[in-house]
Amino acid sequence: MKAFTQHRGLVGPMDRANVDTDMIIPKQFLKSIKRSGFGPNLFDELRYLDHGEPGQDCSSRPLNPDFSLNQERYQGASILLTRKNFGCGSSREHAPWALEDYGFNAVIAPSYADIFYNNCFKNGLLPVILLEREVGILFSELEASEGYQLDIDLVSQTVSSDSGQVFNFSLDQFRKQCLLNGLDEIGLTLLQSEKIKQYEIEREKSQPWVYGAIK
Amino acid sequence: MSARTLYDKLWDTHLVTENDDGSSLLYIDRHVLHEVTSPQAFEGLRIAGRMPWRLDTNIATPDHNISTDRSERESGVSGIPDETSRIQVQTLDDNCDHFGIKEFKMNEMGQGIVHVMGPELGATMPGMTVVCGDSHTATHGALACLAHGIGTSEVEHVLATQCLVTKKMKNMRIRVEGKMGLGVTPKDVVLAIIGKIGTAGGSGHAIEFAGSVFRDMSIEGRMTVCNMAIEAGASVGMVAVDEKTIDYCEGRKFVPKGDVWHQAVAYWRTLLSDSDALFDTEIELHADDIIPQVTWGTSPEMVAPVTALVPRPEDQPDKELRKGLVRALEYMGLEGGMPIVSINVDRVFIGSCTNSRIEDMREAAQVAKGRQVAASVKQVLIVPGSQMVKAQAEAEGLDKIFIAAGMEWREPGCSMCLAMNADKLGDGEHCASTSNRNFEGRQGKGGRTHLMSPAMAAAAAVAGHIVDVRSFLGQTISKEIQL
């Protein structure tokens, strides 16, 4: 997995609450059996005026001029600034895949849906949680200055703007370590194989019906 | 040991080890796979040269993108017209064959929507940890399972290690006391709960549904409720074991028999919260306050009793909420202040992992019986949740009731709940739907979803607009519909 330590980048806004995973990546794109290539279809229904289908050449599709990320000033954005409960809805990991493939390295919001939040860490995408008030300040600064950039430092767990604002964010230590080191989580778990096997032996003795039925 | 909740007990039983960094290794008993969120996980195994940790914990079936049209289904996987869908279903078949995972293939008895199939086959049993690459996995919590959705990286993790690296959630209990009134169904109860606590109200929590309403409810009804825990922000929803749970499990395909059955039942009876267990959050509703519910907006929390008016933005004091309300009404093509029963419907969808079980089919058929779909309604899809539900419904003659009413009786699958196949709404069309999400574009780009119960959806099909199903219920059927 891709590691994340620190990042400085252009901020792009998605100024609404409860952005759901159907909005992030509509279902027709979930038919792919690959992990990559979802970026051109990120926010497809908001971003384009026509109906998107897999396999299209998105470069020639009509863009929705009212969609924030289509504006010239936000081209190349790598930090998404948004509102509360981002990523609610389905468990589709295609949502963080699409955000990452589009070019985002981090998302900043007051809160996230549980499954989406968890999925981000598996893909080197950092979901930063700030207070609603702090997110409000960043939205105001973003609106006021073109080319607005932020610094995110995972080691010190801070978001800082060039105006001197510094906000701290918290996250679980195990998630932080995995992201900082880009660790292979499966490989780490397999280091505990003996414990898992021991657990299974004891479980099978006390609850034999859990095993063997499905063949 | 101090008093524990049901969730605490399930957690403790499945804890393999606690790591120094605060994470835990949780053992997974049952892993349910489908075509959409598994291909990249299998590919990951192949690339790393890993094999599944063990095979007898996994069960698979295609459901999300397959056609529900009989003639298309009869032509098999090779006859799926959409190439990307065909490749995805074929990939699931190939992966299951290659790794030796038990799969109920597209037209095989046993196939169905993952969350209908697991419990009805007895593949999910009380006390198990159950995961699936689908957010509605909490459905299995109706059998007192610790069940939740996972992403594809975790699908691969579970395949390779039989474990998840995770952290314990907080405990929430939602009590609903009283008795459900005429025409009020489990769907109305869960929609009312979401209306009360909001779509993020349960975030970070495992919810236990408790109180007389859930004790009186069938297992199918409990599944409808647990299914939508995620719509309240909680990935886990569950109900404690009682006699109904045990009766439901007895005799199912993968459930043990003989001595092991008795041993299992003795353990299952312990799967309830201790009377003095503490919950981090407690919510209470009363059944008397719940009447049939309908969503009017683009989030499941935008819900109201069928007798209400669509909210007016000017009545909303909070600026952010008002902005969201204005946007939702614009998308839905509705005016604040209009009666919910004045909303016309273009299509009706009765199905999905929320409401496609035999009871749902019966509930809809009771309303459809002897009635006709309104001329203004373009299509009414009745999609049973599994091959077994379909066979049972046909044995009871429900299919004939639907067809006589002008409705379409389809093959099992997820269908118009997420519109990955050809079953979808056109731009601007309103749909009375028994599914679980009314997000923008969920049932088709520009489609406008109104979530409700199967009885309410069938009534809307007949009336041509949203209607209070209680006005349809004569004395003779009132007892049966009162689930």
Q: Per-residue pLDDT tens for A67-110?
A: 999 999 999 999 999 999 999 999 999 999 999 999 999 999 99
pLDDT band at B422 (very low <50, low <70, confident <90, very high): very high
A212 vs B: CB within 8 A: yes
Q: Nearest CA of chain B to the CA of A149: how many Å?
A: 25
pLDDT at position B474 is 64
Structural contact between residues B272 and B316, judged by C-beta atoms closer than 8 angstroms:
no
Round to whole Å and give the CA distance between B335 and B344.
13
Tokens read off for B346: 């273009």
What DSSP designation does B65 have? S
Q: Nearest CA of chain B to the CA of A164: how many Å?
A: 27
The C-alpha angle A170, A171, A173, rounded to 5 degrees, equals 125
**Cβ distance of A185 and B440 shorter than 8 Å:** no
* Dihedral sign of CA atoms A212, B169, B10, B22 in order: positive
Touching A: B residues 307-326, CB under 8 Å: 320, 323-324
Please name the member of A85, A119, A174 whose beta carbon is closest to the beta carbon of B199. Answer: A85
Render pLDDT for B119-136 as a digit per residue (tens, 0 to 9): 999 999 999 999 999 999
Number of Cβ within a 10 Å radius of residue A131: 12
pLDDT band at B476 (very low <50, low <70, confident <90, very high): very low
Q: Is the pLDDT of residue B1 over 80?
A: no
Choose, out of A44, A99, A210, the residue to mutate when testing the contact with B (most B CBs < 10 Å).
A210
pLDDT: which is higher, B248 or A184: B248
Cβ-based contacts of B264 with chain A (< 8 Å): 207, 209
Please name the member of B37, B48, B160 whose beta carbon is closest to the beta carbon of A91. Answer: B37
Mean pLDDT, range A17-42, rounded to an integer:
96
Q: Is the pLDDT of residue B478 over 70?
A: no
Mean pLDDT, range A149-178, rounded to an integer:
96
Tell me the CATH architecture of domain B1-291. Answer: 2-Layer Sandwich (3.30)
Task: Name the amino acid, one letter, at B293.
Answer: Q
What DSSP designation does A125 have? -
Round to whole Å and give the CA distance between B195 and B180.
17
Domains and CATH numbers, chain A: 6-183 (3.20.19.10), 185-215 (no CATH)
B254 vs A: CB within 8 A: yes
Which residues, at least 6 apart from B440, have a Cβ–Cβ distance to it below 8 Å? A20, A22, A23, A45, B298, B331
The nearest alpha carbon in chain A to B85 belongs to A31
pLDDT at position B442 is 96
Main-chain dihedrals φ then ψ at residue B465, nearest 5 degrees: -150, 170
pLDDT band at A149 (very low <50, low <70, confident <90, very high): very high
pLDDT band at A183 (very low <50, low <70, confident <90, very high): confident
A139 vs B: CB within 8 A: no
Cβ-based contacts of A55 with chain B (< 8 Å): 84
**Cβ distance of B162 and A185 shorter than 8 Å:** no
Cβ-based contacts of B160 with chain A (< 8 Å): 186, 189-190
**Cβ distance of A189 and B165 shorter than 8 Å:** yes
**Cβ distance of A199 and B439 shorter than 8 Å:** no
**Cβ distance of B441 and A186 shorter than 8 Å:** no
How many Cβ pairs within 8 Å bridge chains A and B? Answer: 207
The nearest alpha carbon in chain A to B321 belongs to A17
**Cβ distance of B48 and A186 shorter than 8 Å:** yes
Render pLDDT for B148-192 as a digit per residue (tens, 0 to 9): 999 999 999 999 999 999 999 999 999 999 999 999 999 999 999
**Cβ distance of B203 and A111 shorter than 8 Å:** yes
Q: Nearest CA of chain B to the CA of A37: how many Å?
A: 13
Structural contact between residues B24 and B165, judged by C-beta atoms closer than 8 angstroms:
yes
- The complex's ipTM works out to 0.94
Percent of chain B with pLDDT over 70: 98
Average pLDDT taken over every residue of chain B: 96
A168 vs B: CB within 8 A: no
pLDDT band at B21 (very low <50, low <70, confident <90, very high): confident
Beta bridge partners of A48: A63
Average pLDDT taken over every residue of chain A: 96
Beta bridge partners of B30: B130
Q: Is the pLDDT of residue B481 over 50?
A: no
Q: Which CATH number fits domain B293-481: 3.20.20.80, 3.30.565.10, 3.40.50.2000, 3.30.499.10?
A: 3.30.499.10
Cβ-based contacts of A136 with chain B (< 8 Å): none
Cβ-based contacts of A83 with chain B (< 8 Å): 320
A109 vs B: CB within 8 A: no
pLDDT at position B28 is 98
**Cβ distance of A89 and B135 shorter than 8 Å:** yes
Q: Where are the beta strands (DSSP E) in B353-437?
A: 379-382, 408-409, 430-433
**What are the start and end residues of each CATH 3.30.499.10 domain in chain B?**
1-291, 293-481
Please name the member of A83, A115, A173 whose beta carbon is closest to the beta carbon of B151. Answer: A115
Cβ-based contacts of B163 with chain A (< 8 Å): 189, 196
Distance from CA of residue A118 to its chain's centroid? 9
